[in-house]
Amino acid sequence: MSANNGPLPDIVAEARRVLEAASEKDILVRLIGGLAVWEHTDPLHPALVRAYKDIDLATVKKQSRPVSELMTGLGYEPAKEFNALNGSKRLLFYDVPNERQVDVFVGSFEMCHAIPITERLALEPETIPLAELLLTKLQVVELNEKDLRDMVALLHHHQVGESDDDTINSAFIASLTSQDWGLWRTVKMNLERLHQGVAGLGLSPDEQRDVLAKADALWARIEREPKSGRWKMRDRIGDRKRWYEQPDEVA
């Protein structure tokens, strides 16, 4: 498919077109967000299928300019003012014909919490690693149904263990939460929400038990990890002080 043909109407096919074009130019770009969940779980359990509105990507800082050139070459319109102000951390591009946008996180993922999603970016060929992908969902304070579905999809389709390679690396997640009390607190909150919400997603009772067992195994691993002095100091304050950022909507 020629880059000059512009963005494809099918968002999954378009995400793959972007990844293929980046690979051809040796640009390190990976999917995050719902489409990354789809790529990692295809075929996705029918009860967990949802609509995908936009494409989210991650890249390393040194490739911010090549990514910008790639996206404009693929037919996207850059959000020039936004990119000029925020390009060191985030880039935005518009697919005008299909009324979509592409959000590119540069160097790190900073929403309610900061997740270092680019440090291990080369581990997977198309998406960020499963541990980081799950964390981008677990860090959402105002969790919605699509985020819950994505969390459940990742746990349903993958094992929780101490490594990567199609496994959710609980050791990596535990290492991050042991240093950051705020992230630990939000992860705890969202695993509790998962317990409350999984029954309404259409999984069988056995599938629900499997997902919850994996969520509990992840939490047990998080709790076993020794906590840093900084974590312990913040724990003394607890919920009396807001522990997360309130991200602005980018439109």
State the pLDDT at residue 251: 57
Residue 44, in any domain of the structure: yes
Q: What is the pLDDT of residue 42?
A: 77
Q: Do 119 and 142 lie in a common domain?
A: no
Summarised one tens digit per residue, pLDDT across range 198-250 is: 999 999 999 999 999 999 999 999 999 999 999 999 999 999 999 999 987 66
Pair (8, 103) in one structural domain: yes
C-alpha dist (Å) from residue 207 to 39, 102, 190, 204, 244: 20, 33, 19, 5, 32
The span from the CA of 208 to the CA of 219, in Å, is 17
pLDDT of residue 2: 43
Q: Specify the residue for token string 């990507």.
A: 57
Q: Are residues 52 and 109 in the same domain?
A: yes
This model's pTM is above 0.85: yes
State which of 89, 109, 128 marks the end of a domain.
Answer: 128
- Residue 53: give its domain's CATH number: 3.30.460.40
Q: Is the dihedral of CA 173, 194, 105, 85 positive or negative?
A: negative
Give the total number of structural domains in the chain.
2
Within-domain flag for 232: yes
- List of the chain residues with pLDDT < 50: 1-3
- Give yes or no: residues 124 and 138 share one domain: no
Query: In DSSP terms, which residues pair with 110 in a beta bridge?
Result: 114
Residue with tokens 């999954």: 12
4, 122: one domain: yes
* 146 shares a domain with 87: no
Secondary structure (H, E, C), 19-64: HHHHHHCCCCEEEEHHHHHHHHHCCCCHHHCCCCCCEEEEECHHHH
Residue 247 lies in a domain: no
Calculated CA dihedral for residues 78, 80, 82, 87, nearest 10 degrees: 80
Coil/strand/helix, residue 207:
helix
Instruction: Kindly state whether residues 198 and 79 are assigned to the same domain.
Output: no
Helix 170-177 to helix 130-138 angle, to the nearest 10 degrees? 50
Assess if residue 38 is contained within a domain.
Answer: yes
- Structural domain ending residue among the three candidates 71, 94, 128: 128
Query: Does one domain contain both 69 and 117?
Result: yes
Calculate the average pLDDT of the chain: 95
* Boundaries of domain holding 214: 129-238
Do 177 and 132 contact (CB within 8 A), yes or no?
Answer: no
* Cα–Cα distance list, 152 to 32, 111, 144 (Å): 16, 20, 13
Among the three residues 128, 143, 172, which one is the final residue of a domain in this structure?
Answer: 128
- Same structural domain for residues 64 and 156? no
Q: Within this chain, do residues 143 and 226 fall inside the same structural domain, yes or no?
A: yes
Question: How would you write 132-150 as a 3-class SS string?
Answer: HHHHHHHCCCCCCHHHHHH
Say whether both 5 and 98 belong to one domain.
yes
Contact of 64 with 222, CB cutoff 8 Å: no
